[in-house]
Structure 1
Amino acid sequence: MNIYLVRHGETDNNYNKTYYGSLDCELNDKGKAQSLKVKEKLQNINFQKVFSSNMKRAKETAQIILGENHCEIIEEKRISEMNMGIFEGKGHEELKEKYSKEWEMWCNNWKDYKIPEGESYIEFYNRVKEFFLELLNGEEDNILIITHGGVIKSICSYILGENLDIFWKIASRNGDITLIKYEYENLYLDSIVPVEI
């Protein structure tokens, strides 16, 4: 089984380097161009299943990648980005100034601290893991998943020994294609292909 994880194309929030998980924004022009590049790279692969986060930026990326291909896109809430609660739409400096106490608590215990009006990383990780493990019960040769950086990094953290501390040591840029292989009951990270614009 080949599982292709694609991070959605760039949005203005990515460009402005703000935290946003549940903010439902669209791709910018660069994000659309990145999605077209991903389409080129994946055009010769026959996907038996395609999943997308239910967020606009992921769904738009999926629609561009598939183009005229009428493969059904299955929307899946469990692979939406982490809900950042009161941190949504804000950058580092603004968070330090407006929510200094909450920011410090999150920095000191980023895995377990539940951001007000949002979720903890552990809650987020567990819902992503639940979805991913369900995939492994299928018999598809090729699966495409269009999702978010945090989701992809969480899946990689699971594959590399459920070591959540490596989450911050994994890169997942807009448009990157991460290939996970599942063979003989063994999961491994095969490659990460960047999309350059």
Structure 2
Amino acid sequence: MKLILVRHVETYGNVEHRLNGHTESDYTPRGEAMKVLLVEELIALNEKLSFDKIYASPTSRALKIAQAVGQSTGKEIQVDHRLREFNFGIFEGKTRDECIEIFQTEWDQWMSSYIDYAVPEGQSQREYHDLCAEFLAELNEGETVLMVAHGGTIHGMLTNMLNLPLDCKWHFDIKLGSITIIDFNHGFGMLSHMTTPPYDELIPDQTPLTDAKKSAMRSAAREEAKAKAATKKK
């Protein structure tokens, strides 16, 4: 089996450094341009490898890419909820600083035992890892499968297929809009290809968010976090 793992492109949550697991986040202007290039790459890859199946996370930042590839190749998209990003629970949609300010105790517990600590209203990394293993076990030998999902999902698939400890996932830099290919046969995985299209070279400079825009977003987020923290302390 050949598994092509694709991470979605840039969203506002990415540039604001938010823990958006199940939380929706729109593409930035740069992300929209990245999506066009990524879909073209995947259509060309389909002509070379011929995808037997296309799976996608139900979260729109991944699903829209899979749908565009499906429309161009005439292939059906299978949405699987196990391909969603890690569920950050009470930390969802917040930056690191906001999490520390509002949920200091829970954040410290997570940092001290992030693999087995189940984030309140969310999950643990071990539970997430097991979901990825469950998905892989249902795939068919001999097929070429495209999976469009998230950085966490791809980390989970890699540690499972390469038979690595969970904390080894940090050795893989899964960039936005990247393509990772694994050959996985009879339970043995081999990393055969990792690439990221040259987005910086191909996308005009005016499309990324400006520093001023990013600063305004972060300032508004900090004020929101302070207000929530003050309410919690009352």
TM-score of the superposition, structure 2-length normalised? 0.78
5+ residue gaps, structure 1, are: none
Per the alignment, residue 159 of structure 2 pairs with 157
Per the alignment, residue 15 of structure 2 pairs with 15
Offset of 1:130 from its aligned partner? Answer: 0.6
Per the alignment, residue 102 of structure 2 pairs with 98
Give the Cα–Cα distance (whole angstroms) in 1 for the partners of residues 172 and 187 of structure 2: 24
Q: What is the identity percentage for the equivalent residue pairs of Structure 1 and Structure 2?
A: 32
Q: 2:149 aligns with which of 122, 147, 150?
A: 147
Give the Cα–Cα distance (whole angstroms) in 2 for the partners of residues 38 and 157 of structure 1: 24
CA displacement, residues 103-143 of structure 1 (integer Å, 9 cap, x when unaligned): 100000001111111111111111111101221x3432x21
Report if aligned partners of 2:161, 2:184 keep a CA contact under 8 Å in 1.
Answer: no
Offset of 1:62 from its aligned partner? Answer: 1.2
Report if aligned partners of 2:82, 2:131 keep a CA contact under 8 Å in 1.
Answer: yes
Residue 102 of structure 2 aligns with an amino acid whose one-letter code is: K
CA displacement, residues 8-58 of structure 1 (integer Å, 9 cap, x when unaligned): 111100111110111123323222222222223232232110000011111
CA gap of 1:65–1:10, structure 2 versus 1, over 3 A, is farther
Report if aligned partners of 1:35, 1:64 keep a CA contact under 8 Å in 2.
Answer: no
Offset of 1:181 from its aligned partner? Answer: 0.7
Report if aligned partners of 2:161, 2:187 keep a CA contact under 8 Å in 1.
Answer: no
- Check if 1:126 corresponds to 2:127: no
Figure out how many residues of one structure are paired with residues of the other and give that number. 195
Report if aligned partners of 2:39, 2:65 keep a CA contact under 8 Å in 1.
Answer: no
Per the alignment, residue 77 of structure 1 pairs with 81
CA gap of 1:55–1:156, structure 2 versus 1, over 3 A, is same
Give the Cα–Cα distance (whole angstroms) in 2 for the partners of residues 184 and 52 of structure 1: 23
Per the alignment, residue 6 of structure 2 pairs with 6
Report if aligned partners of 2:70, 2:76 keep a CA contact under 8 Å in 1.
Answer: no
Which secondary structure does the structure 1 equivalent of 2:4 belong to? strand
Matches within 5 A, 1:42-121: 42=42, 43=44, 44-45=47-48, 46-121=50-125
Segment of structure 1 superposing worse, 9-18 or 26-35: 26-35
Q: 1:190 aligns with which of 192, 197, 202?
A: 192
TM-score of the superposition, structure 1-length normalised? 0.92
Residue 65 of structure 1 aligns with an amino acid whose one-letter code is: V
5+ residue gaps, structure 2, are: 200-234
Offset of 1:184 from its aligned partner? Answer: 6.3
Segment of structure 1 superposing worse, 66-75 or 118-127: 66-75
Runs of 4+ with >4 A deviation: none
Offset of 1:65 from its aligned partner? Answer: 3.2
Offset of 1:183 from its aligned partner? Answer: 4.3
